[in-house]
């Protein structure tokens, strides 16, 4: 670069900015000569007349791609200084490579408006000169085209190597490269850890279960580091939930080679920033998939089963897998009034209820709630009535028809694969027989061979997909035996609630609580996986739904019997609670409270004693506070035969109560006169 008449004193009176950039950290580490040349432009600026203090080097973008300038702090600062008129000239090895994606044109316009020069190895460019502007615009367009062509060639080469299964990438733990082939890791401890992971997943059925199993035994899991000082080295650490999911979702462990499983989706934010999000493609959209590429820790069929299992367990995408707890319809029950999903609430005393998750505008009142036993007993009875030997025989006939249909589709896929293999063999023989001197013909035949290889890979993937979609049916005799003994198996004490849920979901798609026609009845809609629907009606049971016979007896004798006496009377009569349990004193008390049934009116207060309300009025505090102290045994009192509290209101006892009031920071006694207390 030599001094140029385009450079004036006005330009030298402003900053000379040297913009230093490398597209990646690999280039910074391995292409040091390019970086050194860019830093050397500061000395060139001094030779062209700028003072050493007037040269600014912007190197904040080392290792940052120039595709999107909004992510580059150095380029952002450069544009800001140009807009403020602080820059007289911008130095770069190739100024046409300063920015891409349309940002170069914007930089040229800003430089023209602020009289900023651009300087590179080819000369000095004054943007107020139309010829310089045209020349830089042409060089920028050529740079874009050059990058496009290079990117296309590189991507095409990568895709061709991937279609042959030869494109190397970092392997998952448990595998290593050996002379271009993928083999098991020779370290037996590493192999055993991977095998244990898949074995525990098969046993527990969840990633959390695998993590807990490893943590319970103190086992560690290997991880290979990539990049940095630990590049390629193996480290051991605790197994995490994300590591388990990565392993079970990785087709490498099933012996398959896969390429193009993800892609970058770029979006522009309102402030102009470009963000990239890594999106996973469905398996059917993977660019390359080559089963049986290398030995696997699991089979391809097992990988497909895991994929289906994970999809059925993904609650974020609407799946409702069987969970812990005894509620049979948990996750598949909906409200037939508002259409919302119904959750499950577990309370003390084995009191379980389905509650609609939709609330009113104030988020205070639930749409509806019903005891779990009301719904589960009716749905289970419907299921057991449906699963009979006759119904299973009809289902097996339909399954045979479906199996025949899949067999015909498999045959078509097998014939297509045979045709693709035949065409590939022909293309290979044609390429092998061509004379080496005839390069043009050899190049054409090689391209045809690669196309046939890609077609054969697609045919193999189509056949594998067709085989994976084939339903697995159990033996007929086993099904018929199960139908005959299903009620006994269902009610067996060793049968777990999760097993009942799984059996239920194999036939029933969802359950809906339909609008009620009578407050004591529940209408339940059941939708089967076949599309058929049933409606059943069940009588409400559970807390607050005492059987009418028992409730009538409590109403009749409530005024003359205590809760304990009523419990004995109900049990002697052979009556049970709504949940089928025996009556207790606490159970009768809850019914009294729910239905406002008073107890016996026995005069139990003796001379010198007061009731709870009288004591509370004397102390000037709410009666609830006194009841709370009595329930916890914190103050002296006695309880009469009817259950009423009697407090001996002598000076010593009164002093105890007054001390409790004084020690409480919540109670604020109300001062009353003796006349008011007498009233």
> DSSP string spanning 549-598?
HHHHHHHHHTTTS-HHHHHHHHHHTT---TTSPPP-HHHHHHHHHHHT--
pLDDT band at 199 (very low <50, low <70, confident <90, very high): very high
DSSP helix/strand/coil, 482: helix
pLDDT band at 679 (very low <50, low <70, confident <90, very high): very low
* pLDDT score for 249: 92
- Pick the more confident residue, 24 or 482: 24
* pLDDT score for 674: 46
* pLDDT score for 478: 52
The mean pLDDT value for 140-151 works out to 79
- Choose among 225, 222, 227, 264: nearest CA to 247: 222
Q: Are strands 645-648 and 609-610 parallel, antiparallel or unpaired?
A: antiparallel
Percent of the chain with pLDDT over 90: 9
Q: Read off the DSSP letter of residue 397.
A: H
pLDDT band at 240 (very low <50, low <70, confident <90, very high): very high
pLDDT band at 247 (very low <50, low <70, confident <90, very high): very high
- Pick the more confident residue, 368 or 500: 500
Does position 401 have pLDDT exceeding 70, yes or no? no
Cα–Cα dist 17/34, whole Å: 17
- Beta-ladder partners of 355: 343, 369
- What H or E segment, with its residue span, contains residue 340? none
The mean pLDDT value for 351-377 works out to 71
Range in 302-306, 345-349, 452-456, 672-676 with the lowest mean pLDDT: 672-676
**How much is the pTM?**
0.54
Helix axes 585-595, 563-572, angle to 10 degrees: 110
CB atoms inside a 10 Å sphere around CB 562: 19
Does position 253 have pLDDT exceeding 90, yes or no? yes
Does position 363 have pLDDT exceeding 60, yes or no? no
DSSP helix/strand/coil, 303: helix
Q: Which residues contact 339 (CB under 8 A, 6 or more apart)?
A: none
**pLDDT tens for each residue of 38-77:** 888 889 888 888 998 889 998 887 877 766 545 677 888 8
* pLDDT score for 575: 81
Q: Which of 10, 23, 24, 101 is catalytic?
A: 23
b/e map 52-84, b = 16+ CB within 10 Å: eebbbbbebbbebebbbbebbebbebbbebbee
**pLDDT tens for each residue of 294-308:** 999 999 999 999 988
Q: Which residues contact 496 (CB under 8 A, 6 or more apart)?
A: none
**What is the length of the chain?**
679
The alpha helices in 314-472, defined as continuous H runs, are 372-386, 389-433, 439-468
**pLDDT tens for each residue of 311-336:** 877 777 766 777 777 888 888 888 88
The mean pLDDT value for 245-260 works out to 92
Does position 11 have pLDDT exceeding 80, yes or no? yes
Tokens of 379: 């749905």
The mean pLDDT value for 655-670 works out to 80
* pLDDT score for 180: 79
Asked if 625 and 586 count as a contact pair (C-beta separation under 8 A), the reply is no
**pLDDT tens for each residue of 435-491:** 766 767 777 877 888 888 888 888 888 777 766 665 555 555 555 555 566 777 777
**pLDDT tens for each residue of 382-391:** 888 777 655 5
Q: What are the contacts of 275-282 at 24+ separation with CB within 8 A?
A: none
Helix axes 188-204, 241-248, angle to 10 degrees: 90
CA 15 vs. chain centroid, Å, equals: 52
Cα–Cα dist 417/395, whole Å: 33
* pLDDT score for 398: 59
Q: Tell me which residue has tokens 């052979």.
A: 574
Cα–Cα dist 521/505, whole Å: 25
Does position 653 have pLDDT exceeding 60, yes or no? yes
- Beta-ladder partners of 525: 512, 535
pLDDT band at 230 (very low <50, low <70, confident <90, very high): low
Tokens of 628: 């709370």
The mean pLDDT value for 182-193 works out to 90
Asked if 3 and 44 count as a contact pair (C-beta separation under 8 A), the reply is no
Tokens of 36: 């050194």
Which of left, alpha, beta for 123 (phi over 0: left; psi -120 to 50: alpha)? left
Give the Å distances, CA to CA, from 155 to 22, 444, 456: 21, 20, 21
CB atoms inside a 10 Å sphere around CB 556: 13
Q: Which residues contact 633 (CB under 8 A, 6 or more apart)?
A: none
The mean pLDDT value for 96-103 works out to 65
E strand spans, 106-238: 117-120, 123-126, 175-178, 181-184, 221-224, 234-237
* pLDDT score for 678: 42
**pLDDT tens for each residue of 564-592:** 888 888 888 878 787 667 788 888 888 88
Asked if 513 and 354 count as a contact pair (C-beta separation under 8 A), the reply is yes
The mean pLDDT value for 394-398 works out to 59
pLDDT band at 613 (very low <50, low <70, confident <90, very high): confident
Whether 611 is catalytic: no
The alpha helices in 119-187, defined as continuous H runs, are 130-163
Cα–Cα dist 279/366, whole Å: 38
Does position 157 have pLDDT exceeding 80, yes or no? yes
- Pick the more confident residue, 447 or 258: 258
């Amino acid at each position: 670069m030599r001094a140029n008449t385009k450079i004036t004193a006005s330009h030298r009176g402003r900053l000379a900015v040297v913009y230093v950039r490398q597209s990646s950290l690999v280039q910074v580490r391995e292409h040091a000569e390019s970086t050194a040349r860019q830093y050397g432009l500061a000395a060139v600026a001094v030779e062209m007349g700028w003072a050493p203090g007037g040269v600014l080097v912007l190197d904040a973008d080392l290792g940052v791609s120039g595709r999107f300038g909004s992510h580059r702090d150095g380029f952002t600062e450069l544009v800001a200084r140009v807009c403020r008129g602080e820059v007289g000239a911008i130095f770069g090895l190739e100024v046409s490579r300063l920015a891409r994606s349309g940002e170069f044109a914007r930089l040229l316009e800003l430089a023209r408006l602020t009289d900023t020069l651009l300087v590179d190895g080819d000369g000095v460019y004054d943007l107020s000169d139309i010829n310089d502007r045209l020349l830089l615009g042409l060089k920028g367009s050529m740079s874009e085209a050059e990058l496009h062509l290079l990117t296309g060639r590189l991507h095409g080469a990568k895709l061709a190597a991937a279609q042959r299964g030869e494109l190397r990438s970092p392997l998952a733990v448990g595998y290593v490269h050996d002379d271009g082939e993928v083999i098991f890791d020779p370290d037996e401890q590493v192999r055993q850890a991977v095998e244990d992971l898949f074995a525990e997943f098969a046993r527990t059925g969840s990633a959390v279960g695998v993590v807990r199993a490893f943590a319970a035994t103190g086992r560690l899991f290997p991880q290979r580091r990539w990049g940095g000082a630990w590049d390629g080295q193996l480290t051991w650490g605790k197994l995490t939930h994300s590591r388990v999911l990565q392993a079970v979702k990785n087709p490498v462990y099933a012996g398959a080679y896969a390429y193009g499983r993800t892609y970058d989706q770029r979006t522009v934010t309102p402030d102009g920033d470009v963000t990239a999000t890594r999106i996973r493609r469905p398996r059917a959209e993977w660019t390359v998939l080559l089963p049986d590429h290398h030995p696997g820790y699991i089979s391809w069929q097992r990988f497909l089963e895991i994929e289906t299992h994970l999809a059925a367990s993904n609650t974020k995408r609407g799946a409702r897998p069987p969970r812990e707890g005894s509620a049979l319809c948990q996750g598949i029950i909906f409200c037939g009034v508002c259409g919302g999903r119904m959750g499950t609430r577990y309370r003390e005393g084995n009191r379980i209820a389905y509650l609609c998750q939709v609330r009113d505008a104030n988020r205070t009142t639930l749409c509806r709630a019903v005891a779990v036993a009301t719904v589960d007993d009716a749905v289970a009875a419907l299921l057991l009535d449906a699963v009979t030997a006759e119904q299973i025989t009809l289902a097996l006939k339909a399954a045979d028809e479906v199996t025949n249909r899949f067999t015909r589709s498999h045959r078509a896929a097998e014939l297509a694969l045979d045709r693709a293999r035949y065409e590939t063999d022909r293309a290979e023989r044609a390429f092998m027989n061509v004379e080496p001197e005839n390069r043009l013909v050899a190049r054409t035949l090689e391209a045809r061979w690669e196309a046939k290889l890609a077609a054969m890979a697609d045919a193999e993937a189509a056949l594998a997909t067709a085989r994976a979609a084939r339903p697995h049916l159990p033996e007929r005799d086993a099904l018929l035996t199960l139908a005959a003994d299903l009620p006994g198996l269902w009610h067996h004490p060793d049968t777990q609630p999760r097993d009942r849920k799984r059996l239920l979901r194999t036939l029933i798609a969802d359950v809906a609580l339909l609008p009620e026609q009578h407050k004591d009845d529940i209408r339940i809609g059941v939708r089967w996986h076949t599309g058929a629907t049933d409606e059943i009606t069940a009588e409400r049971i559970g807390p607050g739904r005492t059987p009418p016979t028992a409730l009538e007896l409590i109403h009749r004798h409530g005024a003359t019997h205590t809760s304990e006496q009523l419990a004995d009377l109900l049990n002697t009569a052979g009556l049970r609670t709504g949940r089928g349990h025996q009556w207790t004193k606490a159970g009768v008390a809850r019914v009294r409270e729910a239905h406002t049934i008073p107890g016996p009116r026995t005069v139990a207060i003796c001379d010198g004693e007061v009731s709870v309300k009288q004591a509370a009025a004397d102390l000037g505090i709410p009666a609830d506070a006194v009841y709370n102290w009595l329930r916890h045994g914190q103050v002296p009192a006695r309880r009469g035969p009817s259950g009423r509290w009697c407090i001996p209101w002598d000076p010593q006892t009164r002093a105890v109560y007054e001390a409790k009031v004084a020690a409480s920071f919540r109670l604020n006694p109300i001062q009353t006169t003796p006349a008011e207390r007498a009233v």
